[in-house]
Amino acid sequence: MRVIQGYWARSSDVATRTVDGETLLVPIRRDPKAKVSILSLNGAGGFLWQRLGSPATAEQLARELSAEFEVSLAAASADVHAFLAELRAAGLIAEAA
């Protein structure tokens, strides 16, 4: 598992919509030739995305995810680190100051 350190928050270059309980992320691309993808988040992903409206560490997010979805802290931590790594690679989150 790749460990994500520091505080993270949503990028300002992402539009978010919730449709029928599903969270959709649409990256805002400045380059008209750039590929645009719409990402759909499950319940846990939507919960984490909402939480990333304010800066948080992976550890904070894992504790909150564990409590909200009644999963072990180890499972929540693994999921959070994978989720943050994917969002970071896609440019959807940024390190917060």
**Residue ranges covered by each domain of the chain:** 7-95
Pair 16, 87: CB distance under 8 Å: no
Task: Kindly tell me the sign of the dihedral angle through the C-alpha atoms of 49, 51, 54, 58.
Answer: negative
Q: Cα(4)–Cα(85) distance, rounded to whole angstroms? A: 7
| pLDDT at 89 (0 to 100) | 87
Q: What is the pTM of this model?
A: 0.88
Q: What is the CATH number of domain 7-95?
A: 1.10.10
What type of residue sits at position 21? G
Per-residue pLDDT of the chain (97 residues; tens, 9 = 90+): 556 789 999 998 899 999 888 999 988 876 666 676 888 999 999 999 999 999 999 999 999 999 999 999 999 999 999 999 999 988 899 999 7
